[in-house]
Chains A and B, each alone.
Chain A
Amino acid sequence: MNINTTKIISLLFFIFSVFYLYTAYQIQVFAFDENAPFNARTFPIYLGYAGLFFSGLKLILPDPNTIKVEHKTLEYKKTGILVLIAIIYGATILKVGYFLTTSFFLMGSYYFLGERRWILMFMLSFPFVAAFMYLLHGVLDIYLRDPFLKLIGVMG
């Protein structure tokens, strides 16, 4: 059996299916539902077995279309930084507010992706977010929580 990343993903999916199936069996159902033809755990149990079947099949059968990924050419560092910025954005958006965090998120992302034209970066962050906020909050009446703008009295 040729071990490649697709097989490893399939193995991980197999393990995940085992865990899913175990959890499905642990679902507590009402006593009167325990022996019913269908209860809350029936469908997940079928899904768990289906997951085991297909991932097992992928593990056992030879893979004629092996995917070779050139890891050397992939930009893991930049992608990782971008994901990290997105996580920080997610962590601060509620506390700091939509306007500031989104603008800084955009500025930071442009910068880490290699952009250095500061005026363009600024235009496509602060004024852009302000215009977008106006569209959502002002025109479409979609509520946007923003403690910072509330503090300085821009938002009610």
Chain B
Amino acid sequence: MIEGILIGLTTALTFQNIFMVMIGCFFGTIIGMLPGLGPMTAIALMIPITYGFDPATGLILMAGVYYGAVFGGSTSSILLNAPGVPGTVATSFDGYPMAQQGKAGKALAIAAWSSFAGGTLAAIYLLFLAPSLSKVSLSFRSPDYFALMILGLTAIAAFSSKGQFIKAMMMVVLGLMLASVGQDSLSDITRFTFNNMNLTDGISFVLVVMATFAMSEALTIILKRNDPTAAAKQVSLTELGSIKIDKEERAKMLKTIPRTSIIGFIIGVLPGAGATIASFLAYGMERNLVNDKEKEQFGKGSVHGLAAPETANNAACSGAFVPLLTLGIPGSGTTAVMLGALLGFGIQPGPRLYMTNPEIFWSVIMSMYIGMVVLLILNLPLIPYIARILAVPKNYLIPLILFFSITGIYVMSFNNFDIYLMIGIAVVATFMRLYDFPMPPLILAFVLGGLMEENLRRSLLLSDGSWTFLWDRTLTTCILATTILIVGWQIYKTITKKN
């Protein structure tokens, strides 16, 4: 492991890679701050650029963007009460009231330090746990992988949004259907191409992610321009206040950070749970752990209430890399985008990744830690300046998002058909988003579609067409039992809600 860490450090500490982390953190913060544009959009916008680099550098850039965007989301939560991403919704519970009390600078500083501490602790957990988990995952067979993918897709649907389980499952199926377009991987038989040569290779992952996130986000912003509920509240940059944290506040943070980093990391490791659940759980747990006097402060600008979700969502971001790097199963929509990028580089994440490509495995882990340090160094002094991006007029922002999306597809295929297809998918996605059909399950399903079919094919061929492979192995049964528990819990919640 020491050798691996050294390889990772050597790769991560090159001038080019440190520069990439800095660029990634900076742009990620800016994109994450823009309401509606979360880490997934930020990473999606970076994918075409990363194809110009070697895989390790590309991934390091994306990791930087990821952390930056999560922190950027917290900034808009605190300043505007407009969380850029679901993972930072809980941050606004106490961050926004604190900003309203003229302590926006302090709230941003607490968020920055908590993010740093949460991410750092999680990077340490990742450093020691990822190889062990990787060894455990070597015992996985095709039926286990198939079951794990079912679990991942069900879990992301279950946790996607309150009371929207069926909608999310519909999006999962739609994602899998889109992934089935093109040549069958084994027999090369074309499916759902309708004799269109442009569809023979299937639909590009970048196309789907750009259409469903960046482009449909831009169209949604224009569509809802006159919606009074969507109008962003302006904040005076002169009211940011001091960014210094006093002794009492530091003591409170020191209590909150270690415990919420553990819960955040564990939740992040579970496929489908992610930063949103982690931040809400951490907030709820912290509220139960503090004394009555502090409990009353929750929702009114509590330091515990701000530090807990911020620590947890960053720890969850690191945790989400465990199933991605060791099993090849993304733990969240964002890591699903990263999985697509990895596959684009010709790298198959999984148990053997740290044996076959140790420089990639370890450099990503090491650059996560470096990313945390860079994020803190960059963001603390830049807080007042970074916040100015919130004032970018949408008249410029939207065309630029569309421009980046279309350019991303153009440079990949030089094909009009792909541009039309992207616009078509974006229009449908925009309409579906209006009615709360979640997009992350679609992306996760689209990415996992090919792997899922492959593992089902192997399992069914090995068991001669019998579905007994689902309960032949203890591990498969355990994973499927967890899936059933999650679905059962959703049904139970729906029934109790009605009553």
Interface contact A64-B189, CB-CB below 8 Å = no
Interface contact A50-B173, CB-CB below 8 Å = yes
A5 to nearest B CB, angstroms? 6
Interface contact B219-A79, CB-CB below 8 Å = yes
Interface contact B402-A113, CB-CB below 8 Å = no
* Residues in A neighbouring B173, C-beta threshold 8 A: 17, 47, 50-51, 54
**Once bound together, how far apart are the Cα atoms of A50 and B176, in whole Å?**
10
Interface contact B225-A93, CB-CB below 8 Å = no
Interface contact A39-B406, CB-CB below 8 Å = no
Known: A9-B435, A27-B191. A124 touches B411 (CB 8 A): no
Interface contact A29-B423, CB-CB below 8 Å = no
B28 to nearest A CB, angstroms? 18
The digit string for A83-119, where 1 denotes a CB below 8 A from any CB of B, is 1001101110110001000100110011001110000
Interface contact B398-A64, CB-CB below 8 Å = no
**Once bound together, how far apart are the Cα atoms of A67 and B225, in whole Å?**
18
**Once bound together, how far apart are the Cα atoms of A24 and B170, in whole Å?**
18
The digit string for A7-49, where 1 denotes a CB below 8 A from any CB of B, is 0011001000100100110011110010011111111100100
Within 8 A of A (CB), among B348-402: 393-396, 398-400, 402
Q: How many A-B residue contacts, CB cutoff 8 Å?
A: 176
Interface contact B187-A54, CB-CB below 8 Å = no
**Once bound together, how far apart are the Cα atoms of A108 and B333, in whole Å?**
33
Known: A10-B170, A47-B180, A70-B227. A98 touches B410 (CB 8 A): yes
**Once bound together, how far apart are the Cα atoms of A30 and B190, in whole Å?**
12
Interface contact B191-A67, CB-CB below 8 Å = no
Known: A43-B456, A79-B222. A124 touches B52 (CB 8 A): no
Residue of B nearest to A58 (CB): B166
Residue of A nearest to B230 (CB): A73
* Residues in A neighbouring B399, C-beta threshold 8 A: 82, 105-106, 109-110, 113
Residue of B nearest to A8 (CB): B435
A45 to nearest B CB, angstroms? 10
Interface contact A124-B396, CB-CB below 8 Å = yes
Q: Which of B163, B169, B407, B435 contacts A69 (CB 8 A)?
A: B435
Known: A55-B170, A65-B164. A40 touches B184 (CB 8 A): yes
Q: Which of B222, B423, B497 contacts A90 (CB 8 A)?
A: B423
B3 to nearest A CB, angstroms? 33
Quick check: is A144 within 8 A (CB to CB) of the other chain? Answer: yes
Known: A20-B177, A40-B189. A140 touches B222 (CB 8 A): no
Quick check: is B49 within 8 A (CB to CB) of the other chain? Answer: yes
Interface contact A102-B407, CB-CB below 8 Å = yes
Residue of A nearest to B431 (CB): A9
Q: Quick check: which of B66-74, B132-140, B458-466, B471-479 contacts chain A, the rest being far away?
A: B458-466
Interface contact A113-B395, CB-CB below 8 Å = yes
Interface contact A73-B419, CB-CB below 8 Å = no
* Residues in B neighbouring A82, C-beta threshold 8 A: 219, 222, 398-399, 402
Residue of A nearest to B180 (CB): A44
Interface contact B435-A38, CB-CB below 8 Å = no
Give the interface centre of B49, B410, B437 by most chain A CB atoms within 10 Å: B410
Interface contact A109-B170, CB-CB below 8 Å = no
Known: A69-B434, A106-B400, A110-B396. A30 touches B170 (CB 8 A): no
Quick check: is B129 within 8 A (CB to CB) of the other chain? Answer: no
Quick check: is B243 within 8 A (CB to CB) of the other chain? Answer: no
Quick check: is B489 within 8 A (CB to CB) of the other chain? Answer: no
Quick check: is B226 within 8 A (CB to CB) of the other chain? Answer: yes
The digit string for B444-467, where 1 denotes a CB below 8 A from any CB of A, is 000000001100110011011100
Q: Which of B177, B189, B457 contacts A29 (CB 8 A)?
A: B189
Known: A83-B427, A109-B398. A94 touches B414 (CB 8 A): yes
Q: Which of A90, A102, A114, A132 contacts B420 (CB 8 A)?
A: A90
A89 to nearest B CB, angstroms? 6
Known: A33-B187, A43-B456. A75 touches B420 (CB 8 A): no
Quick check: is B498 within 8 A (CB to CB) of the other chain? Answer: yes
Known: A13-B170, A54-B170, A58-B167. A115 touches B396 (CB 8 A): yes
Interface contact A61-B465, CB-CB below 8 Å = no
Interface contact A65-B163, CB-CB below 8 Å = yes
* Residues in A neighbouring B187, C-beta threshold 8 A: 29-30, 33, 39-40
A124 to nearest B CB, angstroms? 6
Known: A43-B456, A90-B416, A90-B420. A23 touches B394 (CB 8 A): no
Interface contact A37-B396, CB-CB below 8 Å = no
Residue of B nearest to A102 (CB): B403
Interface contact B191-A140, CB-CB below 8 Å = no
**Once bound together, how far apart are the Cα atoms of A3 and B230, in whole Å?**
26
Quick check: is B346 within 8 A (CB to CB) of the other chain? Answer: no
Residue of B nearest to A140 (CB): B52
* Residues in B neighbouring A37, C-beta threshold 8 A: 460-461, 463-465
* Residues in B neighbouring A54, C-beta threshold 8 A: 166, 169-170, 173
**Once bound together, how far apart are the Cα atoms of A106 and B397, in whole Å?**
10
Residue of A nearest to B191 (CB): A27
Quick check: is A74 within 8 A (CB to CB) of the other chain? Answer: yes
Quick check: is A150 within 8 A (CB to CB) of the other chain? Answer: no
* Residues in B neighbouring A145, C-beta threshold 8 A: 414
Q: Which of A40, A73, A83, A136 contacts B191 (CB 8 A)?
A: A40
Q: Which of A74, A106, A141 contacts B224 (CB 8 A)?
A: A74
* Residues in A neighbouring B431, C-beta threshold 8 A: 9
Residue of A nearest to B453 (CB): A43
Q: Can you list 8 A-B contacts with CB-CB less than 8 angstroms, sorted by A residue number?
A: A17-B173, A44-B192, A65-B163, A65-B436, A73-B228, A82-B399, A93-B406, A113-B394
Which 5 A-B pairs give the minimum distances between C-beta atoms?
A37-B465, A90-B419, A109-B399, A140-B52, A40-B184
With A44-B191, A94-B414 already in contact, 20 other A-B pairs whose C-beta atoms are closer than 8 Å: A17-B173, A24-B191, A37-B464, A43-B180, A43-B452, A44-B192, A47-B177, A51-B173, A51-B174, A54-B166, A55-B170, A57-B166, A64-B163, A69-B435, A79-B430, A90-B406, A114-B395, A132-B407, A136-B411, A145-B414
